[in-house]
A = this chain, B = another copy of it.
Amino acid sequence: MPKAESLPNITADDVAAQAGVSRWTVNRAFKKDASISPKTREKVMTAAQSLGYVPDLSAAALASTRSNLVALLIDDFANPHKLVMLEKLTRALRSRGWDTLLVNTLDSDDAAPALLNASQRRVDATILIGIQFDDEVLNAAHDARRFKKLIIFARTSENPNTISIAVDDEAATREIAQYVIRKGYQRPLYMAGPRTVSAHLLRKETFAREWKDRFDREPECIAADRYDPDLAASIAHDALKDRTAAELPDIIVCENDALALGVIDTIRHRLGLRVPQDIAVLGFDDVPQAAGHNYRLTTYRQPLTEMSNYLVDVLESQDDTVHDRKFLGRLVPRDSA
């Protein structure tokens, strides 16, 4: 028995009684394509309104094989792009009737527990937008058979157990490399991010390959193990602070904007140089700040809205065919490169 003060829930039975129909008819009235006469539906809905009834999705999830709930596993909160992704994803999901369970993957040991945590809520799919999932964890999760769908969003993965929805990193990076070459840069420095699932470092490798194809030499590379502007700033500073002008790169190509923003700060405020005149900078993602008057960052924009909508398409699809998909974004030239 619940506590005295908490007044009893209004259930479908209550509505049924009020409307003079059965509980199952009430259920049908709330379902889109149910075989129910418009008249009874009307009657039911009126009763429901007057009682303030809304279906209990928790009970619905228990009774059926679908919950209309997805888990979104996230980390890497220093990366401003994560906020944009959260907005786009939750908007697409909610506007099409899906709820989101947000799971903060607290640290590197927490990937598996986080995954388990999600599965305990009967989610219909688990979406990964973090960076702490390696193939080992993914395969373990798959083997445990706890997941209907495991989706890696905005990050290429070649793991056969997951659905990957991402931009075509190779095509994008080729476009970036061609842009850098066309603009006449000679001494690029590539700043990579942390390694992630199977296709890790795809961008870096593609850039290096393109550069080598053209100039027959490898570009210089450095890496940050988090997508954190401050960390990127420090690493760039360490790498460049003792160099003569001739030794400096003429452009720093960053794996994403989070790194690029920190790099620009270092160039300007710690090295006392100008962007792009002394060192140009190029990013990836097109975070909101990239467009602002301070950074004017040349970057590559992912079609996040389209990708989010496709993700919901995948959720709603019945068939078990492969749903991996690569999207094409576009280079947004601004003033930084």
- A interface residue numbers (CB < 8 A to B): 2-3, 6-7, 52, 54-59, 61-62, 65, 67, 69, 72, 77-78, 80, 82-84, 86-87, 90-91, 94-95, 99-104, 106, 114, 116-117, 119-122, 144-146, 148, 229-230, 233, 262, 264-266, 268-270, 288-289, 291-294
Given A78-B288, A294-B269, answer yes or no on A106-B84 (Cβ-Cβ < 8 Å): no
A121 touches B57 (CB 8 A): yes
Complex copy number for this chain: 2
Question: Which residues of B lie under 8 Å from residue A58 when comparing CB positions?
Answer: 58, 61-62, 67, 120-122
Question: Which residues of B lie under 8 Å from residue A233 when comparing CB positions?
Answer: 292-293
Q: How far is the CA of A149 from the CA of B56 in the complex (A)?
A: 18
B288 touches A122 (CB 8 A): no
Question: Which residues of B lie under 8 Å from residue A119 when comparing CB positions?
Answer: 54
Q: How far is the CA of A100 from the CA of B291 in the complex (A)?
A: 32
Give the contacting residue for A2; candidates B65, B83, B99; CB below 8 A. B65
A120 touches B269 (CB 8 A): no
Given A56-B122, A80-B80, answer yes or no on A6-B230 (Cβ-Cβ < 8 Å): no
**Beyond A58-B62, A80-B83, A86-B102, 12 additional pairs, beta carbon < 8 A:** A52-B146, A56-B120, A62-B62, A78-B288, A83-B83, A86-B86, A94-B114, A99-B101, A100-B103, A100-B104, A229-B289, A265-B293
B292 touches A262 (CB 8 A): yes
A101 touches B104 (CB 8 A): no
How close is A67's CB to chain B, nearest CB, in angstroms? 7
Question: Which residues of B lie under 8 Å from residue A87 when comparing CB positions?
Answer: 77, 104
Q: How far is the CA of A69 from the CA of B57 in the complex (A)?
A: 13
Question: Which residues of B lie under 8 Å from residue A270 when comparing CB positions?
Answer: 293
Question: Which residues of B lie under 8 Å from residue A3 when comparing CB positions?
Answer: 65
Question: Which residues of B lie under 8 Å from residue A56 when comparing CB positions?
Answer: 62, 120, 122
How close is A83's CB to chain B, nearest CB, in angstroms? 4
A54 touches B100 (CB 8 A): no
How close is A264's CB to chain B, nearest CB, in angstroms? 8
A117 touches B94 (CB 8 A): yes
How close is A231's CB to chain B, nearest CB, in angstroms? 11
Q: How far is the CA of A268 from the CA of B296 in the complex (A)?
A: 13
Q: How far is the CA of A83 from the CA of B289 in the complex (A)?
A: 14
Q: How far is the CA of A268 from the CA of B295 in the complex (A)?
A: 12
Give the contacting residue for A84; candidates B77, B121, B148, B230; CB below 8 A. B77
B83 touches A77 (CB 8 A): yes
A99 touches B117 (CB 8 A): yes
Nearest chain B residue, comparing its CB with the CB of A75: B87
Given A289-B229, A293-B269, answer yes or no on A106-B95 (Cβ-Cβ < 8 Å): yes
Nearest chain B residue, comparing its CB with the CB of A64: B2
A103 touches B82 (CB 8 A): no
Q: How far is the CA of A69 from the CA of B61 in the complex (A)?
A: 15
Q: How far is the CA of A249 from the CA of B104 in the complex (A)?
A: 43
Q: How far is the CA of A103 from the CA of B144 in the complex (A)?
A: 29
Give the contacting residue for A55; candidates B84, B120, B264; CB below 8 A. B120
Question: Which residues of B lie under 8 Å from residue A121 when comparing CB positions?
Answer: 57-58, 69, 99
Give the contacting residue for A7; candidates B77, B100, B145, B268; CB below 8 A. B145
